[in-house]
Structure 1
């Protein structure tokens, strides 16, 4: 059995490597042509364009993982069936259950590889690519976002205009509302940083207070040493004597928004790991905000490694087809089209689930379970009747 395992694993892995290398080379060439033109317009060199394309490869690998597993496994098993090697293995004692067990172990290896690349390698590479672009062009890739926070009876609406890859947030705007929903404080800051505990350190702050009653923001402002400097604070003369404006060089605000939640809010969901998506969806739910889109993305990310196992299951019936009479190209092409239909259905299901407000985990798992059922039914029929 060790010899059989070595034969199958080596053949499937070599086919998968060949297919993945071909896909990556193709996408690398397309990305390089696109980045070369864009980087040259910005006055940057060819080396930066090459490095940018290299940093995109982990993301391409992650996206192409299921389809490469399917094509590589189909090609390997169909070739073994055509040369009658798989028939010899069956005659030597490789029964259907044992073959299914061997390929399940290999499918689990593919799933673990997809999880590691998707949750660790790809986010790191994407952040490095964004850092490369922002440092070269001075433009941040992360767009702004609105967030909600609550501290006792007070609620906050927080907006970040831009977020740079080094963790600095620019054009920060914070509205504070009291228990009755009336605005108590308006704060703007040129830039800010936030640590893991939710402490915001802001610079060039403009703080406006609409009440004389101390609030969490105004109480902190009153206790700050900077408020005693008449050069940085002044009473605003207006018809409303309760309005006060403070100009502060630095300001610290303790919130319930840690750095991970802020980063998750300003960056694309596809660029986040499974854990970051989970924390972000929990935060949205706790603040009574809509979390349908990131929750569907979380479950799709969580079930994505399972798609590799489904691809191996789809390829298994091809080992039991008879290819000696010809037609191997048509059958392999049909299997590849089946795998592509799985990828398309998986993408469509996410949009339908968002429009119809379906259960997120069911939307993410339904395509995989459906195609797994198809593959197992085909496998049973071929073994039982063919």
Structure 2
């Protein structure tokens, strides 16, 4: 049994690595084509474009783990079925459950790698890629803290409490300095909306100006603000919950709770981060009965196509339930875990059906 487990693991590892290489080359090519549209913008040259593409790869590795594992496992098992090796294993007395246990042991490595990439490598490399692109294409310098997003804008420092999905801003504080780095004015706006290029409309504005030994306070229902900030830059600066590590998500959820803010989106992302490594194991479990069932109904190309469809179905179901949970205030744990449970139940049901045959 140990020899068979090692043999199955070797076949699945080699097939999955092959699939990963193909998919990563494809995604890197798409990223390269997309970034070439900004070639020559500021200091964004070919070297930095290639750097951005390379730094984006770990994020793709994390996203592709379930799909690549499913396709690689289907490919490996289809090859074993085509050469009757899987049939010989079953005739020799190995049940579907024993073979599945061997596949599960092989999948533990993929689970660990998924966790490592999602928790440590992808968030850091993704942030580094965005910072590289931002610095090359714009003079804006920014950093995100617990107090919100801080941006250097010419002679001002801007603090934004929250960037909404439509790239409008809530709680905008603008600290203006003169050429001698003396504080000249502090402005606070409850909301900021992008009007045109480098122009924002601020509403409910309270401004404090420091003028030759006196302080002038004024309140305006509306004001216009010229800034190098644009919605595209905010999209780059804004770290979406799905790209944050589980550790950072946990503490950010605590921070939002303490400030009486809505946490649903971040809780769904947190539970998704915890469930995602197990999805890799579920994909391997799903590959075994599916490959066996399709043994006489199609070749390797059919298995690969089926794997792509199943992987896309899993990805779309994950996204769908994340959005439905956010819209309907479902339990974050249910919204994040339900798609994985559906595919796990499907895998168990198909294994039971194959065993009965």
- Class of the TM-score when normalised by the shorter of the 2 chains: 0.7 to 0.9
Distance 2:21 2:12 in 1: 14
What residue is the counterpart of 2:189 in the other structure? none
Of residues 154, 158, 162 in structure 1, which corresponds to 2:151?
162
Does the alignment pair 1:20 with 2:20? yes
Structure exhibiting the larger radius of gyration computed from Cα positions:
1
> Is 1:189 aligned to 2:175, yes or no?
yes
Deviation string, structure 1 residues 31-81 (Cα, Å, up to 9, x no partner): 112212312343532111111111111111111111111000011111101
Q: Secondary structure of the equivalent of 2:175? A: strand
Q: For 1:373, which of 320, 345, 355 is the aligned residue?
A: 345
Per the normalisation by structure 2, the TM-score is: 0.75
1:268 positional shift: 2.4
Aligned to 2:124: 124
**Residue 237 (structure 1) shift:** 6.8
Cα distance change of structure 1 residues 284 and 383 upon mapping to structure 2, 3 Å threshold = same
Root mean square deviation of aligned Cα: 3.2
- Output aligned runs, 1:264-283, within 5 Å: 267-283=239-255
Query: In structure 1, which of residues 288, 310, 325 is the aligned counterpart of residue 260 of structure 2?
Result: 288
In structure 2, what is the equivalent of residue 302 of structure 1? 274
Shift of 1:331: 5.4
Contact 1:130 1:140 in 2 (8 A): no
Tell me which of 220, 234, 243 is aligned to 2:213.
Answer: 234
Question: What's the counterpart of residue 221 of structure 2?
Answer: none
Shift in Å, 1:120: 0.8
Distance between the aligned counterparts of 1:188 and 1:344, measured in 2?
A: 40
* 1:322-367 superposed Cα distances (whole Å, 9 cap, x missing partner): 6357566445533432232111111100001111010001100001
Who is 1:68 aligned against?
68
1:172 aligns with 2:172: no
User: What is the CA-CA distance between 1:133 and the residue it aligns to?
Assistant: 2.0
1:239-287 deviation per Cα after TM superposition (whole angstroms, max 9, x unaligned): 9xxxxxxxxxxxxxxxxxxxxxxxxx95322331110011111111121
Contact 1:78–1:332 (8 Å) recurs in 2: no
* Selected match of 1:349 from 293, 297, 321: 321
Evaluate the alpha carbon distance shift between residue 41 and residue 206 of structure 1 in structure 2; reply closer, same or farther with a 3 A threshold: closer
Residues of 2 paired with 1:272 and 1:109: CA distance? Answer: 22
Q: Distance in 2 between matches of 1:55 and 1:300?
A: 23
Distance 1:319 1:172, change over 3 A: closer
8 Å Cα contact 1:349/1:363 also seen in 2? yes
What is the CA distance between 1:159 and its match in structure 2?
5.8
Do the aligned residues in 1 keep the contact of 2:67 with 2:307 (CA within 8 Å)? no
What is residue 8 of structure 1 aligned with on the other side? Answer: 8
Q: For the residues of structure 1 that align with 2:288 and 2:268, how far apart are their CA atoms?
A: 29
The equivalent of 2:46 in structure 1 is 46
Deviations 1:72-131 (A, max 9, x none): 001111110121011112233422222121111122221111110111111111122123
Q: Point out where structure 1 has 5 or more consecutive residues left out of the alignment.
A: 148-157, 175-185, 192-202, 209-230, 240-264
SS at match of 1:323: coil
Judge conservation of contact 2:158–2:173 (CA < 8 Å) in 1: no
* Residues matched between the structures, number: 301
1:236 counterpart SS class:
strand
CA distance in 2, matches of 1:10, 1:238: 72
**Aligned mates of 1:285, 1:113 — CA distance in 2:** 31
Matches within 5 A, 1:218-257: 234-236=213-215
Bigger drift between 339-348 and 316-325 goes to 316-325
CA-CA distance at 1:188 after TM superposition: 5.3
Query: Residues 237 and 102 of structure 1: is their aligned pair in 2 closer, same or farther, counting only changes over 3 Å?
Result: closer
Partner of 1:115: 115
What SS does the aligned partner of 1:38 have?
Answer: coil
The answer to whether the 8 Å contact 1:143/1:266 transfers is no
Shift of 1:136: 2.1
Counterparts in 2 of 1:141 and 1:272: CA distance versus 1, 3 Å = farther
